[in-house]
Chains A and B, each alone.
Chain A
Amino acid sequence: MNEASCTTPRLSTGIAGLDTILGGGLFEHGMYMIEGPSGAGKTILSAQMCFHHARAGKKILYVTLIAESHGKLINNLRAFDFLDDSLIPDRLILTSGYQELKSAGLSGLLQLIAHAVAEHRPAILVIDGYRSIHTLTQEPGAVAEFVYELSTLITTTKCLCLLLSPRDVSEQWTEKTLMDGVIELDRHSVGMRSMRELEVHKMRASAQIEGRHVFTIGSAGITVFPRLEAAVVCTSAAEEDARVAFGIEGFDDMLSGGIVRNSVTCLLGPPGSGKTIMGLHFLNQGTMLNEPSLYFGFHESPPRLLSKAAKLNMQLGAAYAAGTFEIIWQPVLEHRMDELTSALLDTVRRRNVRRIVIDGLKGFLQSAIRPERISMFFNALIGELRRMQVTTIYTEEIPLFAGEIAPSMFSVSALAENIVLVRHIQREATMRRTIAVIKQRESAHDLGVREFWIENRGIRVAPDSGSAQAFLTER
């Protein structure tokens, strides 16, 4: 049995997100089974890892047991940026073990592998098409014995071994108990959409992140998105008393100077009620104080958003050019919730963002393939933003002209420390707008409902409840 343990150094997979899930990578001398249905991405995952290490100067031995030619294998990888022909065959050595397995059985295959390993001293050994070992071996127990010997070989020669196998048949294989880890790749359909998920079923001596994680396959290869609600570190942010102003005349007074720094605010309102403009005020105020600010939205493209800000005399265009303001725009298409969040958190880290507006929580909700995750997912996202010392505003839409606020898809009050409600009110032939602070964390705030206007210089909030009181009570 292989002796990989927490004292053995780890080898990065070179695959974004996967090392995090594995608890820091794979053990250098470990043996791992990568399993999944045909087309799940097993060969891509292993090839991506191999080229990552080949580029760094390590040698890779790739043994194929399938009847597919090496030319075809390489051609199939041409769609990916990581393929580098110049590394073949000096760093990445391809060997077929199929004929040896067929003619000389498992001892012949072991001998072939041992010779190749002793000659090339690879850092990684991949056995692609591991299923052939079972289909071409009749003797009970022989495969487990082979794996046992292979495990000793890789430990003795200090290399990591990946066995690629379909999952449907591997369920019953007893030699899986000898593996240091088992990673499953899966692809399935959800309605019209296709979804790829990865799960680490076993990882010896590691605190892996359990459960399923979404992954994508793009030109860069595989990107894995650790499930946020399972991956975030459970630490609380430092408590802050400082205030963060919106820079909106009248409104900051309602908040006793602003919202508490690093807090989370939900801005509720129907379409066209001014939520985005309020968000832009908040970000504009941040950039004026040199606080890196981020707009994350689904509906307004960067040029359209900057044009809107310019018409309101905000300086966000200059801040955008200077790099203190960033826009992430994700048109409502087939995104994945984890992918969106990863882009958001990466930008927050990279830009040291202090203020963020997530405009349209609905966009996130629409990207959720597993709705049962939403509540915990947003808790995790908001907790992470808080931990990263970001003051967050998110907008959530309520129905136009609703007399009562429709119950939200999940409890906004549990997520947000502050809730602000903006509404349209029709009075005779005129539409009026009102704003109210429903909740503010540990702070006194104006309980009144005030009228507000969207003017050339943005939003202006009435200095008191007088005008709103008048039109709300008139008959």
Chain B
Amino acid sequence: MPANSRSSEASPAMKSILIVDDEFDVRAILELILGMQNYDVVTTPSALLALEKITQERPALILTDWMMPVMDGIEFCKRVRSNSAWREVPIIMMSAASEPTDRNEGLWNAYLHKPLDMDDLLRVVNQEIGD
């Protein structure tokens, strides 16, 4: 799958999810799983590219990895939260590491441990943006 991709042709009713992860396999599988749930999934391999993406289109939800080169997930969250246009977008942080709760400061809404569990993923996503 290409580094930047979109799961399907989005219809206006579909909520969009932006996935930010430097691991291509995680992007590919999240795109497949969330695409099957009728979300419009956009993926990108870096936080810098993700900032460009949300400038073009505000997603309903962001799923971001924590540990990424150049700009990590925490810095990315800070950038998103510092912009009034995106401040309210729910963010789910993902990492194989334990949640750094002392560094959250309202940056992310939920935290998922890697390797991800499909049931946990769908529950948390639905909790944030489900109908």
Contacts and interface: CB of A to CB of B under 8 A. Distances in A.
B116 interface: yes
B25 A110 contact: no
Nearest to B114: A3
Interface in A106-137: 107, 110-111, 114-115, 118
A155 B28 CA distance: 13
Contacts of B116: 155-156
B117 interface: yes
B28 A110 contact: yes
Interface in B83-131: 96, 114-118, 121
B32 A111 contact: yes
B28 A3 contact: no
Contact of A114 (B36, B96, B114, B117): B36
A20 interface: no
Interface string B11-40: 000000000000111101100110010000
Interface in A296-310: none
A3 B115 contact: yes
B1 interface: yes
Contacts of B24: 145, 148-149
B118 A158 contact: yes
B117 A156 contact: yes
Interface of B: 1, 23-26, 28-29, 32-33, 36, 96, 114-118, 121
Contacts of A151: 25
Contacts of A3: 96, 114-115
25 contacts: A2-B115, A3-B114, A3-B115, A29-B115, A107-B1, A110-B28, A111-B32, A114-B32, A114-B36, A115-B32, A115-B36, A118-B33, A118-B36, A148-B25, A149-B1, A149-B28, A151-B25, A152-B26, A153-B29, A153-B32, A156-B29, A156-B33, A156-B115, A156-B121, A158-B117
Contacts of A95: none
A402 to B, nearest CB: 68
A367 interface: no
Given A152-B26, A156-B121, A110 B115 contact: no
A149 B36 contact: no
Contacts of A148: 24-25
A256 interface: no
A151 B26 CA distance: 10
Chain A CB within 10 A, most for which of B23, B25, B26, B96 = B25
B25 A114 contact: no
A152 B29 contact: yes
A437 B17 CA distance: 85
A157 interface: yes
Interface residues of A, number: 19
Interface string A151-195: 111011110000000000000000000000000000000000000
Contacts of A107: 1
Contacts of B121: 156
Contacts of A158: 117-118
B29 A114 contact: yes
Contacts of A110: 28, 32
Contacts of B33: 114, 118, 156
Given A152-B26, A157-B118, 13 more contacts: A3-B96, A110-B28, A111-B32, A148-B25, A149-B28, A153-B29, A153-B32, A155-B115, A156-B29, A156-B33, A156-B116, A156-B117, A158-B117
B117 A152 contact: no
A2 B116 CA distance: 11
- Residue picked from B96, B115, B118, most chain A C-beta under 10 Å: B115
Nearest to A111: B32
A114 B118 CA distance: 11
A111 B115 CA distance: 20
A111 B31 CA distance: 10
B25 A152 contact: yes
Please indicate which of the listed interface residues A3, A110, A115, A149 has the most CB atoms of chain B within 10 Å of its own CB: A149
A107 B23 CA distance: 17
Interface in A337-362: none
A29 B115 CA distance: 11
A117 to B, nearest CB: 9
Interface string A12-41: 000000000000000001000000000000
A157 B117 CA distance: 6
Contacts of B115: 2-3, 29, 152, 155-156
Nearest to B28: A149
Contacts of B96: 3
A118 B26 contact: no
A151 B28 CA distance: 11
Nearest to A113: B32
A149 B1 CA distance: 10
Smallest CB-CB A-B distances: 5 pairs:
A152-B25, A155-B115, A114-B32, A149-B25, A149-B28
A152 B28 contact: yes
